[in-house]
Structure 1
């Protein structure tokens, strides 16, 4: 004679149902965490990309700054050269005027 499956008493069925509900609740919480994790991962990737872009902009700005510093040094040297030339020219003009005065005084 074939064996008949024993039926679970209602209490055991209730307990199994509660355990299943708890498992389902845990699975939903896990699923929610996975979705949040994916969202955080996507945000992190966006932040990393932004950081890379800002790093490149920073490098470009630093190169431009160095170039401007070099140009400023060149301009400063030129200014000093022009100041020295102006001073020499002023002295030469004074000497020239003295010579003219001496020649006209004779």
Structure 2
């Protein structure tokens, strides 16, 4: 029994296997109460779900450096290849998401 528990403990965590496909991720920099941020997220959700893209939401008020950098620019969406600043051209962003997926 102890050998079996040891064998299970030695297994890799799910999603960490070298051949596991990476999930494309974009970052939405926002702050609570930002209506533009909420609107962009609402518009993004069906597209990211369809394309299998994960949206990582980062609240800029939790990090002084991010607050300094983005407070006048949010919402900001960062893809693996570029960043989009408000006002965000959704058509251009969706084209980028198609390429990321």
Q: Could you tell me the TM-score, scaled by structure 2's length?
A: 0.21
Larger radius of gyration: 1
Where relative contact order (Cα < 8 A, 6+ residues apart) is larger, the structure is 2
Q: Could you tell me the TM-score, scaled by structure 1's length?
A: 0.20
Higher strand share: 2
